[in-house]
Amino acid sequence: MKIKSKKLEITIISILAVCGVFIVAGLYFYQVAVVPGHKSFINNNTRLVKTDPLYKEKKWYQDVHKQKWTMKSADDNLKLDANYIPASDSKKTVIILHGFMNNKDTMGAYAAMFHRLGYNALMPDARGHGQSEGNYIGYGWREKVDVRKWARKVVKKDGPQSKIVIFGVSMGGATTMMTSGLKMPKQVKAYVEDCGYTNVKDEIEHEAQALYHFPAFPRFPLVEVLSGITRIRAGYFLKDGSSINQVAKNKRPMLFIHGAKDTFVPTKMVYQNYKAAAGPKELWVVPGAKHARSFATHPVEYQKKINDFLSKYV
């Protein structure tokens, strides 16, 4: 009996030790994945370089006058910051959503493109990014209600004749898709998403394998632990943040764009998102483009694709 009791004790201690390791690892990866801050694998450099294919657009954004808009988040009472760039006498507005640990200023080239197309540009910093308050990254799931509130703010400014497009890249693309599943103001006419993921859990699992080369075990239990910690600290499970589920609720037009050589958010994800979308939709897989580089890779065609799509609905 003493031998069996000793074995049971060793087994329990071993299980507790493994659980402890996963909890410690989960807390570490929560800091990496969900707490805002510098991430070595993310480039948010806004320095102007003349060899950049989008140099003219970025230079325009740097020089143009920007109005500062602020509001409180739809929950948590966070102060959110945005730039607003008016077009001359236009009721068309695009809300431009940036990527993971980027900010509104990294989206300047897109603002220039939409300005050429006759749109006012509203460029918010997501929670915990740029000049907006927040101590967690919501991956689009928590931010979607803020986007709806920004849209209502546009309608309040421009009136019921407003025409709004929601556009985003990477995490901003996922935020666009997640927002589309909400009950939105009727003035929101269309969505354009560029290289957004299927859901937060899928993307984090992919990055755990790509960046850290984790095999299926311990990757699966570690992501589940991370998801539980995220629920406690940031208010959502990773699986909650589903672009697929949200686009299935949307009946408004959506253009899906994704680089054919995207390995950060795998290109295969766009086909799943596109298939799930319930409203009028178009898909453009951009030849030769890596993650969030579709505009820089084919700038003329990128603008034309978006303009041709939106001209049908806005």
Per-residue pLDDT of the chain in tens (314 residues, 90 and over written 9): 555 666 655 555 544 444 555 577 778 889 889 999 876 666 666 778 899 999 999 999 999 999 999 999 999 899 999 999 999 889 999 999 999 999 999 999 999 999 999 999 999 999 999 999 999 999 999 999 999 999 999 999 999 999 999 999 999 999 999 999 999 999 999 999 999 999 999 999 898 888 776 665 555 688 889 999 999 999 999 999 999 999 999 999 999 999 999 999 999 999 999 999 999 999 999 999 999 999 999 999 999 999 999 999 99
CATH number for the domain running over 50-199+241-311: 3.40.50.1820
- pLDDT for the residue numbered 42: 67
Triad 116, 102, 213: Cα angle to 5°: 130
- pLDDT for the residue numbered 7: 60
Closest CA to 302 of 95, 53, 42, 14: 53
Distance (Å, rounded) from C-alpha 247 to C-alpha 235? 22
Backbone conformation region of residue 65, classed left if phi is above 0, alpha if psi is from -120 to 50, else beta: beta
What is the sign, positive or negative, of the torsion defined by CA atoms of 197, 200, 201, 206? positive
Three-state DSSP at 69 gives: strand
DSSP strands (E only) in 179-287: 188-194, 254-259, 281-286
- pLDDT for the residue numbered 12: 53
Model pTM score: 0.91
Per the structure block, which two tokens stand in for 175? 């935020």
- pLDDT for the residue numbered 28: 87
Distance (Å, rounded) from C-alpha 225 to C-alpha 227? 5
- pLDDT for the residue numbered 208: 82
- pLDDT for the residue numbered 217: 52
- pLDDT for the residue numbered 149: 98
- pLDDT for the residue numbered 211: 76
Residues ≥6 apart with Cβ < 8 Å to 225: 22, 23, 25, 26
Contact 210, 7 (CB under 8 A): no
Question: What's the residue count for the chain?
Answer: 314
Distance (Å, rounded) from C-alpha 10 to C-alpha 170? 47
- pLDDT for the residue numbered 218: 55
